[in-house]
Amino acid sequence: SRAGGTRHHRLACELIKYGHQVCIIASNSRYMGSEDLLKEDEKNRFEKIDEIQYLWIKTPDYTDNAFGRFRNILSFGLSLLSLHRYDKLKKPDMVYASTPHLFTPFFAIAQARRLRIPSVIEVRDIWPDSLIELGKISSLHPVILMFRLIEKYIYKNANAIVTLLPASIPYIQRTSKSSPIICIPNGISLDLISFNVHKSEINGSKFTFMYAGAHGVANGLQCILDAVASLAGKNLNFQVRIIGQGHEKENLIISAKKLGLNNVIFEDPVPKNRIHEVMAEADAFIFILKKSPVFRWGISPNKLFDYMAVGRPILFGVETPYNPIAESQSGLTFDSDSPQDLADAIEKILSSTLLDREKMGSNAREFVNKNHDFQNLGETLNSFLQDLKMAK
């Protein structure tokens, strides 16, 4: 289904197993208007997917600009105040609102108060700090000051908080005070991955490193190209497959040609239902993000858990207090600002034994099964919500 790969859809599927009824309210417009889930004459639509009730709400289209984005998210937030118009929506026992931005939880708390039910806020990013650090906006900008007030209001007035970022709990607690808070990271549905994907093997004559994901400035993929270029004279029999798309892809392809990297292959994105099949063709993975203060709260990237689920060694290049690769001994850590450091890690993996690589892969899969399988995460969320319900 369209929603089958999302965090909230998978968590909802798990909550249904515990007897909950779940309705997910979402905007009709995917990122930057790439897909409209409503027809031109539709203002909203109810749809059932995997026993989950969806309500798609019409919001203004936008392109990659700040004003259009602001109008889009404000429109969706305001729409939460008028949910009583929909006859199909029964009064819920609680409201659960996520923070791709602050307007959704702000208005969700207002609606929960009107209905006299608890509100649970899910923190996916630390706003407005993320906006300051990634967008290079002054901390004294009026919009930032407004967001700072909204952030404090949300943390103070939510009845409970779920965060995806393990290191963010002390920061949130400084404002939320007595609200219960728990970390429930992103996850993966291991039951949807066929077993043969996890068989460790050498694929063909060339050892294959793989990156599958976004090609943006924040992903730092030039480091991979520079690392490979530095190994050109060493006669190492490996290739790097870079799969996906993004604003930097064309520049990266040009850079690879200038560097003469015949062993770097750029490929189109792969559909979600085939991604693990393609990932199984890798002998090792590279996960990289450029250094940024925003990662001080920790990270919870879906793609990393996909890598771990496939069961291969992972080269991990993120400066963050939460390093699942080091914790699980499932690969090597490198400095994402240092092509030489990545080149050294590539050489270490190439010189390792198949037995060692299989051990790293099995460690990765065991770790993700224990800490990031949606069945376990759903059980944790259910217990947290039940405790909140009993407390009220």
DSSP secondary structure letters along 221-269:
THHHHHHHHHTGGG---EEEEEE---TTHHHHHHHHHHTT-TTEEEE--
- Kindly state the tokens that stand for 330: 């499932």
Q: What is the mean pLDDT of the chain?
A: 87
What is the structure's pLDDT at 32?
Answer: 40
Alpha carbon distance 315, 375 (integer Å): 27
- Ranges of residues in the chain with a pLDDT under 70 are 1-5, 29-40, 62-70, 134-136, 194-204, 392
Dist. CA 343–CA 200, nearest whole Å:
23
Q: Omega of the bond prior to 180 within 30 degrees of 0, cis?
A: no
> For position 181, what pLDDT does the model report?
94
Paired tokens of 297: 């709260």
pLDDT for 58 equals 81
**Nearest-5° Cα angle at 75, 38 to 184:** 85
Closest CA to 91 of 166, 192, 191, 21: 21
Q: Which pLDDT value is given to residue 392?
A: 63
Contact present, 71 and 60 (Cβ < 8 Å): yes
User: Which of 122, 126, 124 has the alpha carbon at shortest distance from 160?
Assistant: 122
- Do you find a cis peptide bond into 128, omega within 30 degrees of 0? yes
Query: What is the amino acid identity at position 103?
Result: F
pLDDT of residue 33: 42
User: What pLDDT, on the 0 to 100 scale, is given for residue 3?
Assistant: 39
pLDDT value at residue 166: 85
d(CA 281, CA 279): 5
Task: Read off the pTM.
Answer: 0.85
